């Protein structure tokens, strides 16, 4: 069946099987491979993207459920001229990534967290990122990056 | 992993969803999909048709109705977690909602979906069981109400029949003492054992992951109403209950945990 949605600001229409998962849709049909597949069981958060501004694990949502919705993937975070989103900058500046596999999902979950709670405590950041696993165990700098982004984004 | 093939239709009203369910035996409802899709990806559920009720906006609400709070079945965990009405009137429910999965899961999962799924390891079904909630079920024949204690029937089995939709959960206000003890080893894991305790007149206790479905710890409740101490009552936590053994815990360990957690829950519920 045909689905139409806004992905990173642009309208897309595609024919999908109802069983197509949103993560497969963005990766395989739209070529947006920044969204990773990790555990495929809504545990690890590698596939986190935004649906109407809220973080969602796209391995546990059907593309047909996203019909008509506003989707943002990691590719939609930087500005058109390539300037990174403040959260991406904060991850870079605070060494918030090692192998990088969890990073797109971390950035999407962290921006959703700050949208709901612009000034989280360190504990709130740690709890807010519970659904995103970093198997390099680089959590300390990830939390540091999110706190730095919260400070930086508040100034903007 | 992806599910086997199915047809998909989006219902714009409860009556439309009911008529589709009545015409197709293997059709299943989907809302947030965070219970059903994992089962479908594992091919443990293979419905012929999914009826998406996730966009029926008039099933998402939280209303103060005097002696109880009425919650539309499509209300998401995230909304329950943050609702001022629920925080003020049924504080345990907002706390339990905040412990389900993780924030991204709570953006999608719905109370009605979790309760209809009826997983004995889930937090919210056990919470509404301890809170003595009433479930409002709509079908082509009208509306009926079922007490939570009569709703859960077995492993992922509830009182819902084909052609019926859980549309509202009525939760009596409970501003007395309460506690929710969720024991797990890692953030976002399911409870190995969980205990909900609510002091609202008498003390109600329900157990998570101690049986194939959410259950009340009746021996504890009866002992308490007979004047038993917390320690005496907690020792009865698994009386008459046959808990499962799995990768996380043996049945014996679960029995031990249940007693410890019931004791902690009663102590906390008595102090707040």
pLDDT at residue B188 above 70? yes
Q: Closest to B33 (Cβ–Cβ): which among A20, A48, A61?
A: A61
My answer on whether B91 and B27 are in the same domain is: no
Q: Do A19 and B4 touch (CB under 8 A)?
A: yes
Domain count, chain A: 2
Helices A86-93 & A103-116 angle (0-180, nearest 10) = 120
pLDDT digit string (tens) for A85-121?
Answer: 999 999 999 999 999 999 999 999 999 999 999 999 9
d(CA B55, CA B31): 8
b/e per residue A48-80 (b: at least 16 CB within 10 A) = bbbbeebbbbbbbbbbbbbbebebbbbbbbeee
**Which residues in chain A are contacts of B33 at CB distance < 8 A?**
60-62, 65
| A127/B52 Cβ within 8 A | no
Phi, psi of A15 (to 5 degrees): -90, 125
Average of per-residue pLDDT across B12-20: 96
Neighbour count for residue A2 (Cβ, 10 Å):
9
The tens digit of pLDDT for each residue in B40-66 reads 999 999 999 999 999 998 999 999 999
What is residue B272's predicted lDDT score, i.e. its pLDDT?
Answer: 77
Q: Which of B4, B54, B188 sits opposite A130 (nearest CB)?
A: B188
Q: Are residues A38 and A71 in the same domain?
A: yes
Residue B132 and residue A111: Cα distance in Å, rounded?
Answer: 38
For B8, which of A42, A61, A64 is closest by C-beta distance? A64
Instruction: Tell me the pLDDT tens digit for each residue of B72-121.
Output: 999 999 999 999 999 999 999 999 999 999 999 999 999 999 999 999 99
Closest by alpha carbon to A91, among A76, A106, A81? Answer: A106
pLDDT tier for residue A59 given thresholds of 50, 70 and 90: very high
Structure confidence at residue A152 (pLDDT): 83
Put simply, the answer to whether B103 touches A112 (Cβ < 8 Å) is yes
The answer to whether A19 contacts B188, with C-beta atoms less than 8 Å apart, is: no
- Give the pLDDT band (50/70/90) at residue B186: confident
Same-domain check for residues A99 and A150: yes
Point out the domain boundary residue: B149, B172, B195.
Answer: B172
Which among A89, A57, A86 is positioned nearest to A73, based on CA atoms? A57
B40–chain A nearest CA distance, Å:
10
> How far is B227 from chain A, CA to nearest CA, in Å?
40
Q: Is the dihedral of CA A108, A110, A116, A119 positive or negative?
A: negative
pLDDT surpassing 90 at residue B159: yes
- Separation of alpha carbons A65 and B108, rounded Å: 11
Of the residues B110, B139, B172, which one is the last residue of a structural domain?
B172
Chain A segment 3-62 residues within 8 A of B by beta carbon are: 17-21, 24, 40-43, 45, 48, 51, 54-57, 60-62
**Quick check: A40 and B41 CB within 8 A?**
yes
Cβ-Cβ pairs closer than 8 A, A with B, add up to 84
A154: pLDDT strictly greater than 70:
no
Tally of CA atoms within 13 A in the half-sphere of B257 that contains its CB: 24
The CA-based dihedral angle spanning residues A39, A34, A154, B187, taken in that order and rounded to the nearest 10 degrees: 0
A131 and B101 within 8 Å at the Cβ level: the answer is yes
Quick one: CA dihedral A102, A107, A113, A114, positive or negative?
positive
What is the residue range of A118's domain?
A: 86-155
Tell me the backbone φ, ψ of residue A154, rounded to 5 degrees: -70, -30
Distance CA(A81)–CA(B228), nearest Å, equals 70
Contacts of A41 in chain B (CB under 8 A): 1, 38, 41
Best of B11, B82, B103, B108 to disrupt the A interface (most A CBs within 10 Å) is B103
pLDDT score, position B1: 85
Q: Which domain holds residue B212?
A: 178-271
Of A18, A51, A130, the CB nearest to B8: A18
Which residue from B6, B102, B105 is facing A19, i.e. has the nearest CB?
A: B6
> What span, in angstroms and rounded, lies between the C-alpha atoms of A61 and A2?
16
**Chain-wide mean pLDDT for chain B?**
97
Q: DSSP readout, B45-63?
A: ---SEEEE-TT-GGG--EE
> Would you state the torsion angle of the CA atoms of residues A25, A29, A34, A35, taken in this order, to the nearest 10 degrees?
10
> How far B53 CA sits from the closest chain A CA (Å)?
10
Cβ atoms within 10 Å of B236's Cβ, excluding its own? 21
C-alpha–C-alpha distance, residues B50 and B36, integer Å:
10
**B147 and B61, same structural domain?**
yes
Among B34, B54, B78, the residue with its CB nearest the CB of A60 is B34
CA atoms of A9 and A16, how far apart (whole Å): 20
Residue B1: inside a domain, yes or no? Answer: no
Q: What does the block give as tokens for A120? A: 């989280």
C-beta separation of A28 from A37 below 8 A: no
Whether B2 is in a domain gets the answer no
**What is the nearest CA distance from A100 to chain B, expressed in angstroms?**
20
Q: What is the pLDDT of residues B203-226, one digit of tens each?
A: 999 999 999 999 999 999 999 999
Burial of B161 (0-12, 13-18, 19+ CB in 10 A): exposed
Q: Which residue of B has its CA nearest to A54?
A: B107
Q: Are residues B43 and B140 in the same domain?
A: no
Which tens digits make up the pLDDT trace of B27-41?
999 999 999 999 999
Q: How many domains is chain B built from?
A: 3
Could you tell me if A109 and A50 lie in one domain? no
Retrieve residue A9's tokens: 């600001």
H-helix or E-strand spanning residue A139:
helix A139-155
Q: Do B7 and A18 touch (CB under 8 A)?
A: yes
B93 and B149 co-located in one domain:
yes
Residue B193 CA: distances (Å) to CA of A137, A154, B98, B183, B215: 27, 41, 17, 6, 12
Chain A residues in contact with B50 by the CB 8 A cut-off are: 18, 62
Same domain, A31 and A97: no
Q: Which two tokens stand for residue A124?
A: 């709130």
Contact, B125 vs B114, CB < 8 A?
yes
The yes-or-no verdict on residue A156 having pLDDT over 50 is no
ipTM: 0.96
Instruction: Report the CATH number that the domain containing residue A111 is assigned in CATH.
Output: 1.10.150.120
Q: Widest CA span of chain B, in angstroms?
A: 57
Q: Is B101 on the interface with A (CB under 8 A)?
A: yes
The domain that holds B213 is classified in CATH as 3.30.390.50
Residue A31: CATH number of its domain: 3.10.20.30
Helix (H, G, I), strand (E, B) or coil at A12: strand
């Amino acid at each position: 069946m045909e689905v139409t949605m806004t992905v990173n600001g642009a309208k897309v229409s595609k024919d999908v099987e109802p069983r197509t998962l949103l993560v497969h849709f963005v990766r395989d049909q739209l070529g947006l491979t920044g969204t990773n597949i990790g555990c495929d069981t809504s545990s690890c958060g590698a596939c986190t993207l935004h649906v109407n501004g809220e973080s969602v694990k796209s391995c546990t949502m059907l593309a047909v459920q996203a019909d008509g919705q506003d989707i943002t993937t990691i590719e939609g975070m930087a500005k058109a001229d390539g300037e990174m989103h403040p959260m991406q900058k904060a991850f870079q500046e605070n060494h918030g990534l090692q192998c990088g596999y969890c990073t797109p999902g971390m950035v999407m979950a962290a921006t959703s967290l700050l949208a709901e709670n612009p000034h989280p405590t360190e504990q709130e950041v740690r709890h807010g990122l519970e659904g995103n696993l970093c198997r390099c165990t680089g959590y300390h700098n990830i939390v540091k990056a999110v706190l730095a982004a919260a400070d930086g984004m508040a100034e903007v | 992993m992806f599910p086997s093939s199915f047809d998909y239709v989006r219902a714009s009203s409860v009556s439309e969803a009911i008529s589709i369910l009545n015409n197709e035996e293997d059709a299943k409802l989907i809302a947030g999909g965070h219970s059903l899709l994992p089962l479908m990806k594992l091919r443990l559920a293979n419905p012929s048709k999914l009826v998406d009720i996730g966009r029926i906006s008039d099933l998402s609400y939280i209303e103060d109705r005097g002696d109880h709070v009425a919650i539309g079945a499509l209300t998401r965990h995230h909304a329950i977690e943050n609702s001022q009405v629920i925080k003020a009137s049924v504080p345990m429910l907002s706390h339990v909602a905040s412990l389900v999965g993780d924030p991204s899961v709570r953006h999608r999962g719905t109370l009605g979906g979790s309760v209809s799924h009826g997983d004995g390891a889930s937090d919210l079904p056990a919470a509404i069981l301890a809170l003595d909630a009433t479930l409002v079920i709509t079908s082509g024949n009208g509306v009926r109400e079922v007490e939570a204690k009569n709703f859960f029937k077995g492993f992922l089995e509830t009182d819902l029949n084909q052609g019926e939709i859980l549309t509202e959960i009525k939760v009596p206000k409970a501003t007395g003492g309460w506690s929710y003890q969720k024991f797990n080893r890692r953030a976002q894991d399911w409870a190995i054992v969980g205990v909900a305790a609510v002091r609202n007149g008498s003390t109600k206790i329900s157990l998570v992951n101690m049986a194939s479905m959410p259950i009340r710890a009746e021996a504890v409740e009866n002992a308490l109403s007979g004047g038993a101490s917390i320690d005496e009552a907690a020792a009865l936590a698994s009386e008459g209950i046959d808990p499962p053994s799995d990768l996380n815990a043996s049945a014996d360990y679960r029995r031990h945990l249940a007693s410890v957690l019931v004791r902690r829950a009663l102590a906390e519920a008595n102090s707040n």
